[in-house]
């Protein structure tokens, strides 16, 4: 997944988007921030994306689906691009991200309990008193 532009079949950005399920604007954004390398161009100026771009974009979209931030993805990609990654380094990034995910889950579980308890107190009647609003006004 290096920065090379080796390709089996050159494609334009629209074909890259279709091949990966990634939005065109997202691909442009990834190029702008440097997560995706600039592709070579045809003599007519059209970008030529290859299999390296497809693999890299799939890596990015999978990492995003797992909740990795763009900064975390940049860090992982820099390890890949430099061919210096070790499993320990990657595990460190993944373990830190896993801790963040678990912390978010714990926060969401606390929120769910508080909302569940509050909603359970609500009568649903057509009266002005409402435990949900009372809980928010405290």
| Domain locations along the chain | 1-85, 86-138
3-state secondary structure of 85: coil
CA–CA separation, 22 and 112 (whole Å):
32
Task: Indicate the average pLDDT of the chain.
Answer: 89
pLDDT band at 1 (very low <50, low <70, confident <90, very high): low
Position 128 scores a pLDDT of: 80
Instruction: Spell out the residues 6+ positions from residue 13 whose beta carbon is closer than 8 angstroms to its own.
Output: 24, 27, 28, 47, 49
Q: What is the rounded average pLDDT of the residues 121-128?
A: 80
Q: What is the rounded average pLDDT of the residues 88-107?
A: 94
1-85 CATH? 1.10.1660.10
Position 135 scores a pLDDT of: 83
Share of the chain above pLDDT 90, in %: 60
Position 138 scores a pLDDT of: 74
- Secondary structure percentages of the chain, helix, strand, coil, to 5: 60, 5, 35
């Amino acid at each position: 997944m290096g920065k090379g532009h080796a390709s089996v079949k050159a494609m334009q950005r629209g074909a890259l988007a279709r091949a990966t399920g990634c939005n065109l604007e997202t691909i442009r954004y990834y190029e702008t921030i440097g997560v995706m390398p600039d592709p070579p161009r045809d003599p007519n100026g059209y970008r030529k994306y290859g299999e390296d771009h497809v693999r890299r974009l799939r890596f990015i979209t999978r990492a995003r689906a797992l909740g990795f931030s763009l900064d975390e993805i940049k860090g992982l990609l820099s390890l890949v691009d430099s061919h210096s990654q070790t499993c320990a380094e990657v595990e460190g990034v993944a373990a830190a991200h896993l801790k963040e995910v678990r912390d978010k889950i714990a926060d969401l579980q606390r929120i769910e309990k508080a909302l569940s308890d509050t909603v359970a107190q609500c009568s649903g009647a057509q009266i002005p008193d409402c435990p949900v609003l009372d809980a928010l006004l405290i």
